[in-house]
Structure 1
Amino acid sequence: MKALQIARRRPRPGEAGSAAAAWPRKLLTGVVAALLASGAAALAYRAATGPGAAAPPVQRKPDPQVSVTVAQRTDLPIRVLAEGHVTPLNQVDLRPEVSGTVKQVHFREGEEVRAGQLLFTLDASEAEAQLARARAGAAQAQAQVQEAVREHERSIQLGRANFISASAVDTAAGKVQSLRAVLDAANAEVQSARLAVERMRIAAPINGRAGRLNVHPGSLAQPTAQAPLVTLVQFDVMGVDFSIPEADLPALLAAASARQTRIRLQGADGSTPEGRLVLIGNAVNPATGTIDVRAEFPNKDRKLWPGAFVRVSLEAGMERGAVVLPMNTVLEGPQGRFVFVIRQDGAVKQMPVKLARMQDRMAVVEGLRGGEPVVAQGARDLRDGAHVRVVGEGPQ
């Protein structure tokens, strides 16, 4: 109640005016201070973010580091590396010329044979009987001719003595000619029968290595059989078939005409036997863009076997002023192959190139003059026009 009485107490004279005047002044002062503070903050924000405000400093990304090499122009042998297969230059599938039963085999499978060596003997009993009959027929015809000759000689003498007519003499002469024709036919029969007997002995036509034997004593050998008696392959000299890109064909033809080709094999044991070019194909394969080539190599040590895979190195003359680069400098994109050339201002320029061939771990290219600085390492993430910092030299 005391507190309530205090609250209800009327102000004293002069006290109410001073309190009422003090309160608005304090409130106004606070509001003005707040407005001034907020205005100052807004002005500061506008100054910091407005069009005339200074942008904050941006840190520049460092230029990528690259190593550089120089495109070299040099005289380079035209060397083409290819993969090929060994093929025999002389191979014979041995078959009988006449049918007959195999009587004897005179060699073993896988054996080296010489030309003229007897390999098979067929049963020649029937052929020998025919030869005997032919010889008998020829002997009979010979006797008849001799008798006709004697009769002709007697008829000539009798004709001179006018004991027989001239027509009888002519008849005797015609008989001699007829019997001589019969004798010629009989001798031909003898020759044919003799050949039939000789064909029962089958000899090797070439020096070579015998393969798998497909008949044995007692087998029937026929000229029309699907499998040959045996296959002989000459091993002294072997061929190698391979193909080269059609772009290298003009150089190969020019080198072959000037007898400047050089062909070597790259043996697994490090050997590099040298061979001789024997064939350049007569058509380019449109599916692969290549042309077939064949070379021959001596094979006295028997290291080359038919069907084996080999690597071939073909040199076809000299290319003057070829531009070469390390292989890793040539990149490939949607528009083809290219390199990054460093300009004088430190920026790179994407230069399209054509890859002529790969040789000795170097790329032979077209599209550069030679002497241009080319990015060797660090080119994978570059873009055309990018600035770079050279930190070293790449492989030369």
Structure 2
Amino acid sequence: MADFIPLDYATLRLIWWALLGLLLLGFAVMGGFDLGIGALLPFVARTDQERRLVVNTVGPTWEGNQVWLIVGAASAFAAFPPLYAVSFSGLYLAMFVILFALILRPVGFKFRGKVADPRWRQSWDWMLFVGGAVPALLFGVAVGNVQLGVPFHFEPATLRPVYTGGFLALLSPFALVCGLVSLSLLVAHGAAALVTKTDGPVARRAARYGSLSALVAAVLLVAAGAWVATRLPGYRIDSIIDGNGASNPLRKSVHAAAGLWLHNYRALPVLWLAPLGAVAGALLGAYFLRARRGAAAVACTTLAVAATVLTFGAAVFPFLLPSSTVPDAGLTLWDASSSHLTLWVMLLVTATLLPLVVLYTAWVYRVLGGKVSADSLEDNPNAY
């Protein structure tokens, strides 16, 4: 059957690594608006009408933005089963916390307006805050733990993954710094959307909090980069990997040493544009937020978020999930993928459906463009 597939196995593996990264980047940018606005809700809105304004800036679009995360998780399951197995079995408690926080968001959106009692609405507003801030923080913590390496190995006879860590161990200093990078970037990203979509006190407060958050993100990005360059153990494959060989994560040799996550940057200096773009986007985002230039701020925070994801991807390539306890067992795109045929069929399906998702998203944002105001809420009985 593989003889009829026009792309070789190694190429398909590389394509699916890139597609998985694209889906995660799509969620970071699109879903990042929602998470950042949720984290800002108690601080930029002080009356029920102001909170309704904030909620309705993302109310019509947040469900569509979740598609990127759902498709990304499904793609990881189908394209890289060992990655899904290790992540969702060994890290189930961390995953549960993230999922619980994300579940609070649809409940908060649907229930906050059902009762006019201010205490009822304020309680659900805090649920929306948790549903935005906690995932924004923990997604960054997850990225930090990937760079640190996760404590797992495989049983040689059965290749059954064995996770040997605990939940609290995931909250290491470096991982928390990465979590704060994620949280501050997404808060700035959400603030830029609020400046674009609202006027008055909400926009002013969003500009103030967002510009400060963007500056914090720039400082933390530089600090995290220095940590990676000088102290953080990185991983590098020593043995030659057959990109067309069958998937088996134990057929390679890996060693760890400080500074190895910069190996790809030394080999291909153009990659330095990614971290430079992340820091520049954060700094310019702070400037345009302070000036309340919404469209420019959105462009800059989008650059900062996307470039941060690319910085991470370029550093860890070709690893998907390094192992801190048995480095040779770390998962890479070359030895943790599904079969040749599976990747090909998935690519055909994705090439058909992903453009439809992009077109639909663009259409929704065009139809729902413009500012949210008190008058528009009064005119729309279906507003939250």
By percentage of residues, which structure has more helix? 2
TM-score normalised by length of structure 2: 0.18
By percentage of residues, which structure has more strand? 1
Bigger-Rg structure (1/2) = 1
